[in-house]
Structure 1
Amino acid sequence: MGEPGFSDALARISEHSPFLGLVLGREGDIAADPAAAIADPITVSAAPTRDMVEPRALRIQRRRLALIAAIGDLSGAYDFGRTTRLLSDFADEALDRAIRAAIRGRTPDAEPQGFAAIALGKQGSRELNYSSDIDPILIFDPATLPCKPREAPEEAAVRIARRVLEILQARDGDGYVLRVDLRLRPSPEVTPIALPVEAAISYYESQALPWERAAFIRARVAGGDGALGESFLDAIRPFVWRRALDYGTIREIQEISRRIRDHYQQGQRFGPGYDLKRGRGGIREVEFFAQIHQLIHGGRDPALRVPATRDALAALAAAGRIDAGEAAALDKAYVLLRTIEHRLQMIDDRQTHTLPSDPAALDHVARLHGLEEGAALIALLQPHVERVGRIYDALAEAGGSGLPSDPDTLGARLAEAGFPDAEIARRVVEGWRGATYPALRSPAAQSALEAVLPTLMSGFGGAPDPQHAITRFDAMLKRLPSAVNIFRLLEAQPALTRLLSAILSHAPTLAEQLGRRAELLDGLIDASAFAPVGDVPELMAAMAAEERGADYQWRLEHVRRIVNEKRFALGAQIVAGASDPLDVSAGYARVAEAAIEVLTAATVEEFASQHGHVPGSELVILALGRMGGGALTHASDLDLIYLFTGDYAAESDGRRPLGAVTYYNRLAQRVTAALSVPTAAGPLYEVDTRLRPSGTQGPLSVSLEGFATYQEKDAWTWEHMALTRARPVFGSAEARAQVQAIIIHVLHGARPERDILADAAKMRADMAAHKPPAGPLDAKLLDGGLVDLEFAVHVQQLCHRTGFDPQLGKAIDALVGQGIVPPALRPAHDFLTRLLVTLRLVAPDAQPPGERTRALIARALGLPDWEAVVATLGATRQEVRDCWAAIQAGN
């Protein structure tokens, strides 16, 4: 190196750097003897500050050091490494002094211990920019941190940290010391700015994300309690340097590469406006090329665990891990790119990395560097940028199959995939990648997410309603404790992603279930999920499987799990267009009946272990309403009446005996709880017992004798209407036959003489007044809907004492066969039932859904399009209205 060109450097500073020109005017001693300044920069920069208070002393020293570093750099007296080390060493000193000042300012007599700053980024590798943020993590030891009396260590640590930030960042006429960015700490949106050391260690051992591994390659203690900082770094070293690389780790490393490769594409194109840091072939690509190879090989080779980029390139080449020629080219490019980055930052003391687009501004940068004009600067940089880009391309290709991270590129890719509002979809994906939900915090979850994202976005983008699909999937992830398994399942089963997309697009009811229990998707892997569910004995066998010897709670959970899987699969059949909603409705009822059988039997057994049995007596469960008719929807309640056979005055024979009435009422409460109380396996059914004798005023369970007496003497018309769909669903064959005999006897005339038609008409009018339709598609409550159809059928059944069958469709057929109701009532029943069952899944609010869901509804109803659905609904309602009106008119 020749004689330093101080005069030329000072001239360029005065002409092309407004910031340094001002400093030069204030620090005449440095301008008068630059050789002395660059020979001992720390001493010279600090000379005027000896008697100043700490914050002001640091600000003035930083200002003077900035000028000395610039003169040394521009004159050729300092090479690139000397410049960055000088800036980094001052940052360390300033950070350490700020910590000590903050502690002593609060506790003057205490030793400044128990608080440390871990430098990351370029401060950590001693490669700090000319005008750069520092990115420390602040940790403290609650056991040794000096605190004020009655002050918690956590509160003291945060106050110390705030004072450190104030000392370093506050600006006045003397400038500032350092800009500080604390966002590299774990979960910065929720964690305090200073972290307890044990909590920080725990985080990095168990939850840290892939990019945090790369960040800690350059970590070192930069200020405060050195012993505390070193013990922290020793504890987390295995997190950074892993001896064994599994598939997931390699994918993490590829993901780091891919994200950086397509980030900040605005500055990718080389020329004026090029981003020296983030552009293709820029500083970041050199740094990540080195760091990725360090992560891959550094676990087994400690010689590669060096923080500085240039040192890492040299170590990797020496170990034969990268090509020596490529290492030399990257090193040369890195020095030039960083040097020009310094020139940009010297002009106005701004943390900028982008070449000016304005030709005059670009000329200033070039001339500050000693070139004639901006074009010469572009020509100087171009071959190096292109070489770095080519070298990095090979590394970036390893992660090229994923979705891009650059916002614009990602948005364009999502638009291509089919999202009508790609901006919303982009923000959702970026939220996932930001690991804002607990289910996405772990490295394994992030790795699994990136692996499945292309398939997932392709599936959602091709869904009938991409926006609904992605937003509902987002809501589902928000509630999940873990997402790894579901991501791996979807990655392994691309066809399942398409079905999931359809479910999330169309079926909020199923989407909500998935949000609570993502494992419900597992049940859709097998093609048998789209076959009709088995008969009740077959379902009971599945629910009772492996229960021998299991405790009561396990048996309940087992049944709940199977029921929810079956119900979810039945709903998915409608969404997928695999089954007629009438068949699905019957399937829902068979699942419920099997659950009643198994859960009640288990509850009876558990109850009897304490209270024994009532001799000559047993529980019988009578189902009414849609359950009695064997035609449930996804959201149907179970209308049940609990009965018992035998002598109501008898007593149980257990070690804690109960009278029969008390026994069966308590048992009925237990059965209701077993059927309805939500648990970890999910909720089952709402149980409605208001149809029992005397309603909510009567006992929960009544004897067969009491039931018969009530129905024959006291029951109202609406109770007899409900009885037309009554069906025993639990009890021995003999007990069921006894109940059925009572029902037949009552329905065929053993009941009070009442004006059935007048009672029914008044009841329907009251219902219309107090429970209006939920929306224009309420197939149940609209006039001419299912309720009117049921009223018409039940009135005719009771008046004519014929056509009794719990299944409404069969009852209608019987009445049609006798000429009592018009033939149009059966297709009306089928259409309205299909509509109700489908809408409970896809439009539970009974409002018209989006265009794409309308096509699903039409398909489920066997109609060509939505217009046909609307027309058929109108015509069907008119048929039902006409029938009900004719009955009321006595025709």
Structure 2
Amino acid sequence: MDASSRQSALDRLTAHAPFLARLAELNPDDVARYLSEGTNAALAEVSAPPVSDDIMRTLRQWRGRMALLLALGDLSGEHDVATTTRLLSDFADQACDAALAAAFAERVPDEKPRGLSVIALGKLGSHELNYSSDIDPILIFDPETLPRRSRDDPGEAAVRIARRMTEILSARTGDGHVLRVDLRLRPHPEVTPIVLPVEAAISYYESEALAWEQAAFIRSRASAGDRALGEHFLSAIQPFIWRRSLDFRQLKEIGAMSDRIRDHFAQGQAFGPGFDLKRGRGGIREIEFFAQVHQLIYGGRDPSLRVPATVDALAALAVAGRIEADDADRLSGHYATLRRIEHRLQMIEDQQTHCLPTQAAALDCVARLDGEANGTALLAMLEPVVADVGSCYDRLVAERAATTGLPRDEDSLAAQLIAAGFDPPGAALRTIAEWRGGKLRALRSPAALDALETMLPELVKALGAAPDPQATLVRFDKLVAGLPSAINFFHLLGAQPALARIATRILSLAPTLADALGTRAQLIEGLIDQRAFDAPATKEQLAAEWAPGLAALDYERLLDRVRDHVGERRFAYGAQLVAGATDPLAIACGYSELAEAALQVLADATVAEFVAAHGRVPDSELVVLALGRLGGRALTHASDLDLIYLFTGDHLAESDGPRPLGATTYYNRLAQRVTGAMSVPTAAGKLYDVDTRLRPQGAQGPLVVTVDSFERYQREEAWTWEHMALLRARPVYGSDAAKAEVQGIIDDLLKIPRDPAKLAADAAEMRSKIAAHKPASGALDIKGGPGGLVDLEFAMQVTQLVSGQCHDPNIAAALGCMKAAGLVPPEVVEAHGLLARMLVMLRLTAPEGEPPTAAARQLVASQCGEPGWSQLLAAHDAARQEIANWWASIRPGQENGK
């Protein structure tokens, strides 16, 4: 920045800002250093005064020097708006620290300040302070650590210190003031003391706080005083600020508060002289609300959005795909413009004002301070900014616009129901009448009935558009009947009409998902995020996504949270299938990655708990081997997990912890706990069923054996079918070295030369036993019966073991390899694709093995690549015939043997 720009800024300040002009006269050395060396060099010579008896005067003199230099840096362009507001906020932090230190020194002179914290909210909380802004802190104290006089009650001592700190900052003397302090944002300010005990404050925010208080704490931090105490308080109330389960009633209240502000300050006020830059339509507050409402909706599930500063929040929302990048860029630029002009208003006479002057001369003064020619030019610059902000905010609040609701007159309501798709409307009329009459437990409060009326119009549209409106209405009624309260669920559907359409489609087509939704209605919230319909995540992506929210949890809470994460993601994958958005085979792989991610997190946590009690077995670790559908990366919505537990090292070793155990006992107990972590229902519900019967010697053998024992058993004792099962085996937990060791053993075992005739005979005998023990449940038993997936697997496994080729645990990949090698009829590869897709879809739409409903049949057919149900059945029969023919060509007469 050249000297002429600095001089121009000083000239404008002197001519148009009397308050700052007086400060320039009082601080000539600062002005001279600014002109010769720049703002930052001048600021480097200004520091907070020491605590002394003269603290009132020295703080105010310091404030004057800072105000002058920060204004010059702003006006000259050496500092942008973000830099200016951060430096103003840093000054406020230091001033609060200095005033608090002085208050402590007066009352307990031999003690260091501790046990009292300043929690900054609003613009100070987000490092966005204005030139002449109030600060809005909440003060908390710890009765156990607050220094006090011997006879002082801790609460009285805290109030006296807080009151003195406020006086030092706010009292107006001949030198002015430092900061205006507004303590009215504390809970119940009309009856509570100005400083609150920390545990009482935590209790309030956990149980009683209001919607606007949640929004206020988005921009909060421990800004002064005992920062460790402040961080403890803010950490404790994070679940209040960032709620995983959305409360759309609160969002509605926050939106209503914004609407009231807009009505109060902007009704009848066209943009022009007198416009309120902060509260008017298209003003600063609407940009802040725009960011905060999105943060409240999504921040509970996405920690990357928990940033206090408005511009940073807009950028984070854009990166996360929650708002358009262009909207974020424009609103960020508009925010800087509006804040800059707001600062110009406040520079003139150090007044806390946000309104453009109504008189032309005063407006010209503001314009020229900013470098504009006159007030007309300033208004011309601001008008498109304000219009664009107002337009963006209008779009945000449009979804909260009042609806006309459904009529209560039966004839009128019947006509609307018929138009929506309920013909005849009688059953729907009775159901809605029962809802409105409060027959269901969840609809017995006035708030619930109000929420019902808000969402009924969109709900009826969505239900009427379902493939079977009457059946879907019955399922929705059953869902609501199971809810303890329907208020938030109804507010959610009312605020997000697209979710109502998805929910009704799920209820109509997917009983498995409908049951999950009935148990946890908040599962639907995960679908607000359009990324719920992205391609399924890998286990690495899932682990990275979950890590921030799991890091600080104890073991029991971790079990619940992982179940929440898995349930939400599994529900979202099911919704993708119902929406026809993703290939069922991709979802099957996604289900598998999800299970692996859960296993990794829970096994790590279980091992850590176990190590704390029993130590580690030297040179040894747990390895988990997946078989079946998890081994093959092809789970369905409700698949079991087939696992084998192994451990490396010496089985005679002993752990080195406070309660040592022999290695075999150690790992058997550890594996039991891992199984429990994966399978035991908790308050958050069930995770997976775990089947460990494929281990050596089956259910009669130990739960865990050494890797050496596993290899020896497989080489010397295992039945043919156990080697066939190894074709779907894959190590999924353990160090890379341990997993590579186990994989190497499996690879070697599968390369052992086989007697083709004996292998085929063994396989045929085992297949017959399976058929006798578990016959096909019907024509649509995709796995069992002639030509089903079990026949396919037996045929391909015999071929893989005989040939020694294509040992990929994923069936589709192995078949692709076998096709290239001429080991499988090409038609069988296509048959597998069809049956595998049918299996995934039928597990969702007809989980009990019955044929899917008429409404679901078209969905299943489409997801399997067929135009309709009859064509799918024909393709299914043809596919089974191809598989049956292949298995018949391999299967000989049965002979006994291993």
TM range (shorter): 0.5 to 0.7
1:456 aligns with 2:451: no
Cα distance in 2, alignment partners of residues 815 and 399 from structure 1: 62
Q: Which runs of 5+ in 1 are unaligned?
A: 1-205, 207-245, 252-397
Cα distance in 1, alignment partners of residues 424 and 809 from structure 2: 49
* Residues 863-883 of structure 1, C-alpha deviations (whole Å, 9 max, x = no match): 111121011101100100000
Cα distance in 1, alignment partners of residues 637 and 584 from structure 2: 11
Q: Which residues in structure 2 correspond to 1:786-805 (within 5 Å)?
A: 786-805=789-808
Letter of the 1:865 partner, please give it: G
1:823 aligns with 2:802: no
* Residues 455-508 of structure 1, C-alpha deviations (whole Å, 9 max, x = no match): 101100111121232122122112222211111111111111111111110000
Q: Which residues in structure 2 correspond to 1:524-603 (within 5 Å)?
A: 524-603=527-606
* Residues 213-268 of structure 1, C-alpha deviations (whole Å, 9 max, x = no match): xxxxxxxxxxxxxxxxxxxxxxxxxxxxxxxxx999xx9xxxxxxxxxxxxxxxxx
Residue in structure 2 matched with residue 706 of structure 1 by the alignment = 709
Q: Which residues in structure 2 correspond to 1:113-132 (within 5 Å)?
A: none
Spell out structure 1 runs of 4+ moving beyond 6 A.
Answer: 750-754
Letter of the 1:857 partner, please give it: V
Could you say what secondary structure the match of 2:470 adopts? helix
1:446 aligns with 2:449: yes
1:810 aligns with 2:827: no
Distance change in 2, residues 1:723/1:247 (3 Å) = closer
Letter of the 1:839 partner, please give it: L
Distance change in 2, residues 1:666/1:857 (3 Å) = same
Distance change in 2, residues 1:420/1:690 (3 Å) = farther
Cα distance in 2, alignment partners of residues 512 and 421 from structure 1: 27
1:721 aligns with 2:724: yes
Letter of the 1:571 partner, please give it: G
Distance change in 2, residues 1:580/1:697 (3 Å) = same
> Does the CA-based 8 Å contact 1:543-1:595 persist in structure 2?
no
Cα distance in 2, alignment partners of residues 750 and 439 from structure 1: 66
How far 1:823 moved relative to its partner? 1.3
Q: Which residues in structure 2 correspond to 1:475-874 (within 5 Å)?
A: 475-749=478-752, 755-874=758-877
Q: Which residues in structure 2 correspond to 1:377-396 (within 5 Å)?
A: none
Q: Which residues in structure 2 correspond to 1:121-520 (within 5 Å)?
A: 401-407=404-410, 409-520=412-523
Distance change in 2, residues 1:573/1:400 (3 Å) = closer
Cα distance in 2, alignment partners of residues 884 and 527 from structure 1: 44
> Does the CA-based 8 Å contact 1:713-1:752 persist in structure 2?
no
Percent identity of equivalent pairs: 55
How far 1:732 moved relative to its partner? 0.3
Letter of the 2:659 partner, please give it: R
Cα distance in 2, alignment partners of residues 714 and 527 from structure 1: 52
Residue in structure 1 matched with residue 384 of structure 2 by the alignment = none
Between 472-481 and 750-759, report the one with greater CA deviation. Answer: 750-759
How far 1:753 moved relative to its partner? 9.8
Could you say what secondary structure the match of 1:529 adopts? helix
How far 1:698 moved relative to its partner? 0.7
* Residues 809-832 of structure 1, C-alpha deviations (whole Å, 9 max, x = no match): 111122222222211121111111
Cα distance in 2, alignment partners of residues 813 and 695 from structure 1: 32
Cα distance in 2, alignment partners of residues 247 and 551 from structure 1: 34
Between 851-860 and 874-883, report the one with greater CA deviation. Answer: 851-860
Cα distance in 1, alignment partners of residues 701 and 519 from structure 2: 36
Cα distance in 2, alignment partners of residues 591 and 837 from structure 1: 16
Between 742-751 and 689-698, report the one with greater CA deviation. Answer: 742-751
> Does the CA-based 8 Å contact 1:835-1:861 persist in structure 2?
yes
Residues matched between the structures, number: 500
Cα distance in 2, alignment partners of residues 544 and 754 from structure 1: 52
Cα distance in 2, alignment partners of residues 812 and 521 from structure 1: 37
> Does the CA-based 8 Å contact 1:676-1:687 persist in structure 2?
yes
Cα distance in 2, alignment partners of residues 605 and 753 from structure 1: 47
> Does the CA-based 8 Å contact 2:842-2:852 persist in structure 1?
no
Letter of the 2:725 partner, please give it: A
Q: Which runs of 5+ in 2 are unaligned?
A: 1-207, 209-250, 257-400, 894-898
Cα distance in 2, alignment partners of residues 488 and 432 from structure 1: 15
Could you say what secondary structure the match of 2:577 adopts? helix
Cα distance in 1, alignment partners of residues 638 and 788 from structure 2: 18
Could you say what secondary structure the match of 1:578 adopts? coil
Residue in structure 2 matched with residue 328 of structure 1 by the alignment = none
How far 1:782 moved relative to its partner? 2.9
Could you say what secondary structure the match of 1:459 adopts? helix
Cα distance in 2, alignment partners of residues 420 and 598 from structure 1: 51
Cα distance in 1, alignment partners of residues 892 and 689 from structure 2: 37
Cα distance in 2, alignment partners of residues 405 and 648 from structure 1: 75
How far 1:547 moved relative to its partner? 2.5
Could you say what secondary structure the match of 1:824 adopts? helix
How far 1:405 moved relative to its partner? 3.6
Letter of the 1:680 partner, please give it: A
Residue in structure 1 matched with residue 28 of structure 2 by the alignment = none
Could you say what secondary structure the match of 1:721 adopts? helix
How far 1:697 moved relative to its partner? 0.3
Letter of the 2:676 partner, please give it: A
Could you say what secondary structure the match of 2:776 adopts? coil
How far 1:567 moved relative to its partner? 0.6
Q: TM-score, normalised by structure 2?
A: 0.54
Cα distance in 1, alignment partners of residues 416 and 525 from structure 2: 29
* Residues 387-408 of structure 1, C-alpha deviations (whole Å, 9 max, x = no match): xxxxxxxxxxx99922234555
How far 1:545 moved relative to its partner? 2.2
How far 1:430 moved relative to its partner? 2.5
Residue in structure 1 matched with residue 58 of structure 2 by the alignment = none
Distance change in 2, residues 1:752/1:697 (3 Å) = farther
Letter of the 2:502 partner, please give it: L
Could you say what secondary structure the match of 1:634 adopts? coil
Could you say what secondary structure the match of 2:732 adopts? strand
